[in-house]
């Protein structure tokens, strides 16, 4: 077969080359390499040695084709360039690499449609998927989970394994913090409506404020980007409230910029709390008080759960893991103005 590429890819060494070199059948080579117990130890050693010598690399596609296993896990995030995902990407990546799995990172661009489309299209090329902040409906998510091993991050749905960050307790901490600083009303700057985390945060703020008999208000929804910060800040100023908790740090940082533009002092006149402690929260100005989430760990845990599911045929031991969050107080919060 001639190759019209300018590039000549040298023929790769296959299992058959090893078979020929060792005198064993290809099937034996295959077993020696992927099912150690099935062949004689001496045979295996021999085969492994020759394989190494020829620098054999198994062909993923051939393997996937017959076995159905691809040793690949997809990680779906709604926006790769949202720094919030850093930790997640990092965590999943490490854990997957350690387990010898490939890491397929997919940006779903905040679209549930794209998300499910990708998932169905990819079904044959991945062993499982980790969905970070899925935009899918409960029903759809549950349905997908029956077709493909899935772990959701920051999304809790019956029938779907998940790892979630304990925002409720974190938001409660944030609320207490603001209340202890003398703020008498807390405004929640809402993120995208189809975000589970957004609703979870809002609900826990409502609950926390209720415990203190304080009013809360919700503004938004705002797209979860820095750009939305301006609109959010303007809306906040308009309420004359002195403290807010923003859906995430991106939004909070955007607000900080706008508040300064409009001459409002933070934390002098307004206190701002973010969520996620993402990259940048510690060097923006003023530095941001925020809810730190162990998101990298979440990634690791999610991978562990998924792999456990893939390896043991047993169904999940636990349906979901909850990771603690805690408040990091920086410069953006202070006493309420008198």
Q: Binding residues for its own copies, per CB under 8 A? A: 4-10, 12, 57, 59-62, 64-65, 68, 70, 80-81, 83, 86-87, 89-90, 93, 102-107, 120-121, 123-125, 146-149, 226, 253, 256-257, 279-280, 283-286, 313-315
Measured from the CB atom, the residue of 49 and 65 that comes closer to DNA is 65
Q: Quick check: 125 binds DNA (CB under 7 A)?
A: no
CA–CA separation, 320 and 306 (whole Å):
11
Measured from the CB atom, the residue of 54 and 329 that comes closer to DNA is 54
Nearest-10 Cα torsion for 58, 302, 130, 59: 0
Measured from the CB atom, the residue of 191 and 254 that comes closer to its own copies is 254
- β-strand 102-107 against 128-132: which pairing, if any? unpaired
Stretch that binds DNA, among 31-39, 138-146, 208-216, 239-247 (CB under 7 A): 31-39
Shortest distance, CB of residue 170 to DNA, whole angstroms? 44
Measured from the CB atom, the residue of 176 and 234 that comes closer to its own copies is 234
Q: Return all residues near 148 (Cβ < 8 A) that are at least 6 apart.
A: 119, 123, 126, 128, 129
Measured from the CB atom, the residue of 63 and 217 that comes closer to DNA is 63
Say if residues 131 and 151 touch (Cβ distance below 8 Å).
yes
Q: Return all residues near 278 (Cβ < 8 A) that are at least 6 apart.
A: 82, 83, 84, 86, 248, 249, 250
Residues 5-24 that bind DNA (CB under 7 A): 11-12, 14-16, 23-24
Shortest distance, CB of residue 307 to DNA, whole angstroms? 17
CA–CA separation, 169 and 201 (whole Å):
9
Q: Return all residues near 90 (Cβ < 8 A) that are at least 6 apart.
A: 296, 299
Residue 17, Cβ density class (10 Å: 0-12 exposed, 13-18 middle, ≥19 buried): middle
Measured from the CB atom, the residue of 33 and 214 that comes closer to DNA is 33
Shortest distance, CB of residue 73 to its own copies, whole angstroms? 12
Q: Quick check: 75 binds DNA (CB under 7 A)?
A: no
CA–CA separation, 209 and 225 (whole Å):
26
Measured from the CB atom, the residue of 158 and 212 that comes closer to its own copies is 158
Shortest distance, CB of residue 53 to DNA, whole angstroms? 15
Measured from the CB atom, the residue of 12 and 38 that comes closer to its own copies is 12
Say if residues 253 and 225 touch (Cβ distance below 8 Å).
no
Q: Quick check: 41 binds DNA (CB under 7 A)?
A: yes
- Report the candidate in 192, 324, 183 with the shortest Cα–Cα distance to residue 267: 183
- Report the candidate in 143, 145, 148, 147 with the shortest Cα–Cα distance to residue 160: 145
Shortest distance, CB of residue 2 to its own copies, whole angstroms? 11
- Which of 45, 59, 211, 312 is in the footprint of DNA by CB under 7 A? 59
CA–CA separation, 264 and 241 (whole Å):
12
Residues 188-207 that bind DNA (CB under 7 A): none
Q: Quick check: 120 binds DNA (CB under 7 A)?
A: no
Instruction: Tokens for 211, please give them.
Output: 């415990």
Say if residues 299 and 92 touch (Cβ distance below 8 Å).
yes
Residues that bind DNA (rule: CB under 7 A) add up to a total of 32
Q: Quick check: 40 binds DNA (CB under 7 A)?
A: yes
Shortest distance, CB of residue 101 to its own copies, whole angstroms? 13
Binding site for DNA (CB under 7 A): 1, 11-12, 14-16, 23-28, 30-31, 33-35, 38-43, 56-59, 62-63, 65-67
């Amino acid at each position: 077969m001639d190759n019209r590429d300018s590039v000549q890819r040298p023929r790769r060494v296959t299992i058959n080359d090893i078979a020929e070199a060792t005198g064993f059948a290809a099937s034996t080579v295959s077993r020696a390499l992927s099912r150690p117990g099935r062949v004689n130890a001496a045979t295996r050693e021999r085969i492994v040695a020759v394989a190494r010598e020829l620098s054999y690399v198994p062909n993923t596609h051939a393997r996937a084709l017959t076995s159905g296993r691809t040793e690949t896990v997809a990680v779906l995030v709604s926006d790769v360039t949202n720094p919030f995902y850093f930790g997640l990407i990092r965590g999943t990546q490490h854990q997957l690499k350690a387990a010898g799995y490939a890491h397929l990172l997919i940006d779903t661009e905040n679209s549930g449609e794209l998300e499910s489309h990708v998932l169905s299209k990819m079904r044959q090329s991945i062993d499982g998927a980790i969905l970070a902040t899925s935009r899918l409906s409960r029903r759809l998510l549950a349905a997908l989970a029956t077709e493909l091993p899935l772990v959701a991050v920051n999304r809790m749905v019956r029938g779907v394994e998940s790892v979630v960050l304990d925002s409720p307790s974190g938001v409660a901490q944030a609320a207490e913090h603001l209340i202890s600083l003398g703020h008498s009303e807390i405004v929640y700057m809402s993120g995208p409506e189809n975000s589970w985390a957004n609703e979870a945060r809002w609900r826990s703020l409502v609950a926390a404020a209720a415990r203190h008999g304080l009013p809360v208000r919700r503004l938004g929804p705002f797209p979860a980007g820095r750009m939305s910060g301006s609109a959010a800040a303007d809306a906040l100023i308009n309420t004359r409230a002195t403290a807010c908790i923003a859906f995430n740090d991106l939004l909070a940082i955007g607000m900080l910029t706008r508040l300064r533009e409009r001459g409002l002092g933070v934390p002098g006149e307004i206190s701002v709390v973010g969520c996620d402690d993402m990259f940048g929260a510690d060097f923006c100005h003023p530095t941001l008080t925020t809810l730190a989430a162990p998101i990298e760990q979440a990634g690791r845990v999610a991978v562990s759960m998924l792999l456990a599911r893939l390896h043991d045929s047993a169904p999940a031991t636990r349906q979901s893991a909850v990771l603690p969050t805690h408040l990091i107080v920086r410069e953006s919060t202070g006493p309420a103005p008198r």
